[in-house]
Amino acid sequence: MGTLKENVALNVKNIGSPVNNPENQSSPAIDVDGTLYFGSLGVKDSKDKDKKDDGVHFCNLYSSTIVPDKGYGKATALPENINREGYHTANVSITPDGNTMYYTRVVSDGGHMEESKLYASTKTARGWSPALEVTGINGDYLVRHPVEGELYGNKVLFFAANIPGGKGGFDLYYANKTGEASFSEPIGLGSLNTAMDELTPYYIDGKLFFSSEGWPGLGGLDVFSSTWNGSEFSAPINLGMPINSSVDDIYYKINKNGDMGFLVSNRDAPGSKSLKGKTCCDDIYTVEKKEIYS
Amino acid sequence: MDQYTKAYGEVKDKDIAIKIAKTHLLLRDYTKSVNWFNRVLSKDKANKYLEERFLYGRALKMAGSTTEAAAEFKTYIETGADPNLKAWAETELKELS
Tell me what the pLDDT averaged over chain A comes to.
91
Mutate which: B35, B91, B96, vs A, most A CBs within 10 A: B91
Contact A36, A67 (CB under 8 A): no
Q: Which of B72, B61, B78 is nearest to A279 (CA)?
A: B61
User: In this predicted structure, which of A37-41, A52-56, A89-93, A177-181 has the lowest mean pLDDT?
Assistant: A52-56
Predicted local confidence at residue B39, as pLDDT: 94
| B29–A276 C-beta distance less than 8 A | yes
The residues of A whose Cβ lies within 8 A of any Cβ of B are 1-4, 168, 195-196, 214-220, 246-248, 266, 276-281
DSSP A86: T
Q: Is the pLDDT of residue A53 over 80?
A: no
**Predicted confidence (pLDDT) at residue A50 exceeds the cutoff of 70:** no
Contact B28 A195 (CB under 8 A): no
Q: Kindly list the residues from chain A whose CB atom is less than 8 angstroms away from the CB atom of residue B91.
A: 214-216
Q: What stretches of chain A show up as alpha helix (H) in DSSP? A: none
Residue A244 has pLDDT above 90, yes or no: yes
**pLDDT bucket at A48, cuts 50 / 70 / 90:** low
The confidence score (pLDDT) of residue A218 equals 87
Summarised one tens digit per residue, pLDDT across range A269-293 is 888 877 777 898 999 999 998 876 6
Provide the ipTM: 0.79
User: What average pLDDT does this structure show over A130-140?
Assistant: 96
Pairing of strands A66-67, A88-94: unpaired
What distance in Å separates the CA atoms of residue A237 and residue A242, rounded to the nearest whole number? Answer: 14
Determine contact, residues A203/A149, Cβ cutoff 8 Å.
yes
- Secondary structure of residue A25 in the 3-state scheme: strand
What is the pLDDT at residue A258?
87
Asked if A159 and A146 touch (Cβ cutoff 8 Å), the reply is yes
Does an H or E element contain B33, and which?
A: helix B30-41
Model confidence band, residue A217 (pLDDT cutoffs 50, 70, 90): confident
User: What residues in B contact A220, CB-CB < 8 Å?
Assistant: 58, 62
pLDDT 10s digits, A168-210: 999 999 999 999 999 999 999 999 999 999 999 999 999 999 9
Domains of chain B: residue spans and CATH? 2-96 (1.25.40.10)
Q: Name the β-bridge partners of A101.
A: A94, A121
Cα within 13 Å of Cα(A52), Cβ side = 1
| Angstroms from A85 CA to nearest CA on chain B | 26
DSSP one-letter code for B26 = H
With an 8 Å Cβ cutoff, are A277 and B31 in contact? yes
Q: Which residues contact A195 (CB under 8 A, 6 or more apart)?
A: A167, A168, A169, A214, B84, B87, B88
Dump the DSSP string for A235-294: PPEE--TTTS-SS-EEEEEE-TTSSEEEEEE----TT---SSTTTSS-EEEEEEEPP---
CB A134 within 8 A of CB A181: yes
Q: Which is more confident, B7 or A136?
A: A136
Q: Is the pLDDT of residue A49 over 90?
A: no
Under 8 Å between Cβ of A285 and B34: no
| Nearest CA distance, A281 vs chain B (angstrom) | 8
Instruction: Give the pLDDT of residue A283.
Output: 94
Euclidean distance between CA atoms B66 and A1, whole angstroms = 8
- pLDDT, one tens digit per residue, over B52-62 is 999 999 999 99
Are the beta carbons of A27 and A39 closer than 8 angstroms?
Answer: yes
